[in-house]
Amino acid sequence: MDELRRAVLNVIRKIRSHRELYVKNEEAVKQHLIGEIFQALGWDWNNPEEVRPEERTEDGRADYALILNGGVFAYVEAKNLGVNILKREEPLRQLARYCFNSGVRYGILTNGAMWIAVKAFEEGSRLRDRVLLTVNVEEEPVEKAVLKLSILSKSRIDDIERLSSLLRAMELSFIGLKREGYPEKMLIEYLTSKEGSNTVPVEDLTGDETPKAAYVYDSGWKLLPLPEKSIKGVLLAVLLYMERRAQGYQREEIRKAYEHLRTMPLNPKTALEILRKLEEEEKLRISVEL
């Protein structure tokens, strides 16, 4: 996912710096934006056994054909950035015709920033009902866009219908529970908590506990190695985590604080107070497994 995340961020930077170019020039969109995303998704963009440009169909030429297991799995149709593919119907209908006339089940429409994956045909359904996923890398949170785009990776695309259905079900459930009054933080912790573990947020600790493990939320819950199984050990683990993230003078100051606290006796309740202060000042989320 890290490579895809870097590619998405790079595409966003390119669009912001050269928007006028991509609005006017479809070829630039293909070479600078679409190719970078697909390569990060694991497709060998210059290998005709995986990607074929200008694939002929009965209804015209598709910009690309994605090859999987020796056959065309999906057509990719590119537009310039000036075409709002999320609102205009014709580009999606054009792609669907390419797919239908060639018996290709899936299509991907993109202008570099917006992406639509569609199931090209299904009896008794409308085209928009067959859209499997939509992504807008400029307007959505990066992690959300990366997760959705990952379904188009070479290793996952064969399961595109099931994965997109699971993702949509999760989104609808999350939205529904929020509307019922459940806090977002509670829902995220429910989804990310480990089976069978007794994990408690720092704010709910009393200072009398003996921690088995500590976690910090950083695009998901990350386990922090404990120097010792105590509240002080949790504090030291958090300081080491902060040191790794910091730079320059701030990093040196955190190291000094760590060395100072490591060698001195520290009351558990005092250590807990420091942890809570760090959570508030550094915008951290810390939990402890008991």
Q: Higher confidence at residue 125 or residue 270?
A: 270
Q: Higher confidence at residue 116 or residue 101?
A: 116
List of residues 6+ apart from 115 with CB closer than 8 A? 108, 109, 133, 134, 135, 136, 137, 148, 149, 152
Per-residue confidence (pLDDT) for residue 197, from 0 to 100: 56
- State the pLDDT confidence band at 195, using cuts at 50, 70 and 90: very low
Q: Where are the domains of the chain?
A: 2-176, 194-289
Give the torsion through C-alpha atoms of 32, 38, 39, 42, to 10 deg.
170
> Per-residue pLDDT averaged across 226-235, rounded?
91
CATH number of 2-176: 3.90.1570.30
Closest CA to 30 of 92, 81, 99: 81
Q: What tens digit of pLDDT does each residue of 17-70 get?
A: 999 999 999 999 999 999 999 999 999 998 999 999 998 887 788 999 999 999
**Over 80: is that where the pLDDT of 192 sits?**
no
> Per-residue pLDDT averaged across 118-122, rounded?
88
Residue 134 DSSP symbol: E
- State the pLDDT confidence band at 194, using cuts at 50, 70 and 90: low
**Over 50: is that where the pLDDT of 196 sits?**
no
> Per-residue pLDDT averaged across 240-269, rounded?
90
Question: Between the CA of residue 174 and those of 186, 187, 202, 204, what are the distances in Å?
Answer: 11, 7, 24, 24
